[in-house]
Structure 1
């Protein structure tokens, strides 16, 4: 689990060695079961506290059927969302203790251990307890919901903060907040800790003897300090004007349990950062959520120097259904996420730009990016796992551009009344085996003999090593068509296609490829200066065209998957010295 923060006498103990009757969950898992220890992972605890407000969501992460009695084998398992998939993380129940007490996350009920074991599983996922030291709640919220999270400054939010928060909370969004204006874990004059993550757990109109006020409920996972200003749970005189039944409805408790109510106006004055996790359609269905949830499209890829700068095509078609807004706009969220940055110990600075597409072609070249100003951008670069753009635009087409930073990534396109399309293969993946030499790159200005031989093999449907007239005519038609495409996209008439010109040229030939395939093409079919020659372009198209047709021939029932035997796999290698392309289409 990595190096721990404490020196001996730290001991690893099982729950049965900490208390005589350990329980996995006691009277349900609640936000009061999340009490911070000596580790600076309040960001994770805050997310857990928010998640505990929604029992179905928490039970997806924390399977409640586990116990220390029936079926107990010394291990427990949990589920976390990791880049599009739910992963099971299994851990033993040995927990770090000092003087017989848990030193990290614990429950307010001493015999309850689900929260401590959840923290251990998350630490295993991220690379150890030390990997959890400092972070942002939105990272943990995404890992436990699969949602899309945006980070907002409170100052940038509408003056009607309650009106902004109510629809978010009603839609099942998880909200966290923090005050970042002072030194770590020190308090301001009203008891709010600096650089400490809190959870927003409720928003209510409260009736007093004189008026109705808007109060917001905030939870501190540390549980040791509370709000000491107006409407303080401990000694706020304002509560004297609230009927006892109203106080019971709100769940007001006069003790330092970490949860408190405060005026919305005081919230704005004492918190400056807010994180909102928008739950996915699948998650909202679990909660029996609204009829029109956010819908997500996801794309995996990576940025490789000189090869790929991921770009996506976003089409906005449906206007927002908001009668109070006279403008015709479409709302959307775009999120870019780094993969495994805690596990790898690499925190890259990432950002997003959105440009309007003026209909020339989908791919924006480096020259285009220098000449055109983006419609919307993230606020510079940020060393975060995820950056998000929330936007509202008139129904248009736009291109999303990911600035250079090398590493694996995932892009989420979410919409509410928006249709999001990715510029990628209609589905599936090409896997191209490497074959070196100039025959592959096609560096010759004229068609080489090897190219011509390969064309014959790829067009020879009878296995005779020669073409009949219909086959030759079909080949010639392809060459003429692809030559026209090459000339059209060779804008500087260099007899070479620049790397940014390859993708639109392939698309014009009816062969859409995703970023992964484009990277392979750049690595194996281009010259050192990242250009592709005319012979190389023809050869690439011929190979792709041939393998697509072979795949379609194998996929007799049109299921999008094929099963091939050893002979079918090896035949292209024996018949053709060119690289083998395997196509999987869904």
Structure 2
């Protein structure tokens, strides 16, 4: 194999080049995880925490003691916090509020939706959500802590709280803000001396790495991040008949709303004749059935109140707009009740009929069951279940059902809707299922946007669920009962009304072998309704096709010709193995990892050569030739031994790809003993072949006394295990390419006797898979060694499926393997 140091150097050079793969974003900050008590107060999450997490209270105390103003090293006041490229901007200065206003306030008297006005940054979606946030004091103070102040204990440090993929976190910032000519460049309040909204925007920008990361988005993203709720959206071209009732009910349940028009492809933020802005997010802040009395009719009319985050005269100019004649038919008492005002502040009213006609999309964020308002009410019907997962190349990134050979490899989740909804007249059960992509906005500085994703739902029976996960055949035989559209949004959400029963949800990317992380959530009236449809981790029967002396008549292979030797009886095969062992063993009569590496690299030189060529093609590295080799005598013993072992396991499992040999598989014994290694004693260990770490792990797998060496019986057992794993590898490497194709690792390891779930398979693919999702021969052997070793460690301490280790034991066991 190529020199690992050369590969590492070239891979780094390729990855850092403009043509290299896009690397996953690593956040520069570890945010403090927090939890909310039943009283709604925040506190640090119990348990271990990262030492790098910024603690607002500790940092403020340190600044108070030193008499200094806080400067955030994680989000510095320079161009790297503004743009992806770090390109400088003329005349821009970072100023503290005291340098902008002589009397800076966090709040001027109080807060309201009119405190949120857009600056130069294209983040109207964030402002629409922030305006909604001001509507409810309990939700607002959850995100904007009340202990932020320019008066008490002021040290230039502030903090805000956001929900981030299932976990609330505390984001710390300093109060230096980007300005030009002493004026704020981005979000600002109507009052020149009020800064809570500008600081909120800065904290949200830090959450995603820069201000530029906030350019363009969906209001539902921010509404979810402000509440931990679950978002839905409706297209007006396919609007449900009861949409206004859904909106009204949503407001009663403290849901948030935003809406937008499709953008004009030729003109950004184009204005319509009705005064509406295309490609722009509006807050929807009230829905009311309003009393109306005209000369001809008396009754109620559905009206909606909206707000443009620009906070200026760009408002709706149709019916029910500011000072339109329709308002004279509304009683004065009703006007006061709905808080009607006529100012050039971006806020306006319109009828539901016009709303559906002129807007294209409405977004709704339902509150989660742990929301403090919901807890207080106590009659919220929804229960939440959630899991985190990922799509990994060659493992769980199976693509949509257009790709039937790989679709079934996607993560699968079982949803039990046991009973119909309490108020459903048709006996249906409702579930809102949301698929949320993780960390995509943070990766925009690497040119990575949201993936095209969706989810598909199947009805299943208990019999179907015996096999975990559901196999390919199930999806070929059964049609889906519901599905979402595949779109490139951060969150894809669908509301389904289905018969009570058991369902399997399959989230996927549109194309296979596209990697990404996700969180899937289900809101329903059934508690704990979702589980992972995963196999149990453990050992299973070896594939009959690679079992010596198999008498299974159902296996379509010819009988095995050669029996495994009995280690208790004298046997030419045993004698040959002993001779090989003595050729490599030291004076102590044992084999260490260096001696083992020499044997394995020569025994499997053909397989290693194929793997080396494959890696070379992938990384454009020329293969490195070995500097040391076995003597001719040692080669005869070694090749003969492997011929024997392979005949045990692979003779009738598809043949092998070794070069032709005159012995026709018969065992050959060297007539004279010779040193196995050429050259001087203690030769340099070559970088060719199995890695040093892999050979050490092989020794550790059978080295019970942790001496770092193997005796003869352990050596014999190891070579037998490796031969068996090679036989399994050859079952799946049908094209003799030297690697397993993507998505074959699960089946191959199961044939080797191991059941693994998707999370473990993903970890193995991350560690051992190529960028194309392939597993080369030596990496497959190393996978099997690691799995067997870890299972053996667990079994040695297993008590009813639970193993208990103290810190010393855990470190000792895991560091050696």
TM-score, normalized by length of structure 1? Answer: 0.78
- Separation in 1, partners of 2:750, 2:774: 22
Counterparts of 1:230 and 1:79, CA distance in 2: 40
Matched, 1:378 2:484: yes
* Matches of 1:190 and 1:72, distance apart in 2: 47
Distance 1:413 1:272 in 2: 26
Pairing partner for 2:213 from 122, 131, 151: 131
Paired position in structure 2 for 1:430: none
Partner of 1:295: 384
Shift of 1:360: 6.2
Do 1:305 and 1:406's aligned partners in 2 also have CA atoms closer than 8 Å?
no
Gaps of 5+ in 2: 1-80, 399-409, 538-595, 612-641, 650-693, 711-716
Q: Distance in 1 between matches of 2:698 and 2:425?
A: 59
> 5 Å matches for 1:135-534?
135-180=217-262, 182=264, 183-209=267-293, 210-224=298-312, 225-232=314-321, 234-283=322-371, 288-289=376-377, 290-305=379-394, 308-309=397-398, 310-339=410-439, 340-356=442-458, 357=460, 358-359=464-465, 361-364=467-470, 373-382=479-488, 384-394=489-499, 395-403=501-509, 404=512, 406-418=514-526, 419-424=529-534, 513-520=757-764, 524=768
Residue 78 of structure 1, CA deviation: 1.5
The whole-number CA distance in structure 2 between the counterparts of 1:147 and 1:221 is 22
Unaligned runs of 5+ in 1: 428-434, 467-474, 575-579, 581-586
Counterpart Cα distance in 2 of 1:247 and 1:8: 48
| Mean Cα deviation higher: 52-61 or 282-291 | 282-291
Note the C-alpha offset of 1:253: 0.3
> Equivalent residue of 2:453, what SS?
coil
Asked whether the equivalents of residues 184 and 196 of structure 1 are also in contact (C-alpha less than 8 Å), the reply is no
Per-residue CA deviations over 1:280-338 (Å, capped at 9, x if unaligned) read 22225666354322403121334224565441222223233154441433423131313
Q: Secondary structure at the match of 1:77?
A: strand
The separation in 2 between residues aligned to 1:569 and 1:417, in whole angstroms, is: 44
Determine if contact 1:74/1:92 at 8 Å carries over to the other structure: yes
CA contact (8 A) 2:793 2:813 kept: no
Number of aligned residue pairs: 547
**What's the counterpart of residue 794 of structure 2?**
548
Task: Please list the CA deviations of residues 455-487 of structure 1 after superposition, one character each: whole Å capped at 9, or x if unmatched.
Answer: 999799999999xxxxxxxx9xxx9xx99xx9x
CA 1:405–1:545 in structure 2 vs 1: closer, same or farther (change >3 Å)? closer
- Mapped to 2, the partners of 1:140 and 1:287 lie a distance apart of 22
SS at 2:807's partner residue?
A: coil
**Counterpart contact for 1:313–1:399, Cα < 8 Å:** yes
Please report the RMSD computed on the Cα atoms of aligned residues, expressed in angstroms.
Answer: 4.6
Q: Which moved more, 1:289-298 or 1:274-283?
A: 289-298
Instruction: Select between 415-424 and 454-463 the one with higher mean Cα deviation.
Output: 454-463
Deviation at 1:43, TM superposition (A): 0.7
Comparing 111-120 with 142-151, greater Cα deviation is found at 142-151
> Match of 1:186, SS?
coil
Is contact 1:23–1:67 with CA below 8 Å preserved after alignment? yes
Offset of residue 230 of structure 1 = 1.3
Residue matched to 2:807: 564
| Secondary structure in 1 matching 2:371 | helix
Q: Which moved more, 1:94-103 or 1:201-210?
A: 94-103
User: 1:525/1:410 Cα in 2 relative to 1: closer, same or farther (>3 Å)?
Assistant: closer
Contact map agreement 1:308 1:518 (CA 8 A) in 2:
no
Normalization by structure 2: what TM-score? Answer: 0.58
Partners of 2:93 and 2:207 lie apart in 1 by 22
Q: 1:74 to 1:328 in 2, by over 3 A?
A: closer
1:227-257 CA-to-partner distances (Å, cap 9, x unmatched) read 211111x222121122212111100001122
Aligned partner of residue 272 in structure 2, secondary structure: coil
Q: 1:139 to 1:342 in 2, by over 3 A?
A: farther
* Contact 1:43-1:196 within 8 A present in 2 as well: yes
- Distance between the aligned counterparts of 1:59 and 1:282, measured in 2? 15
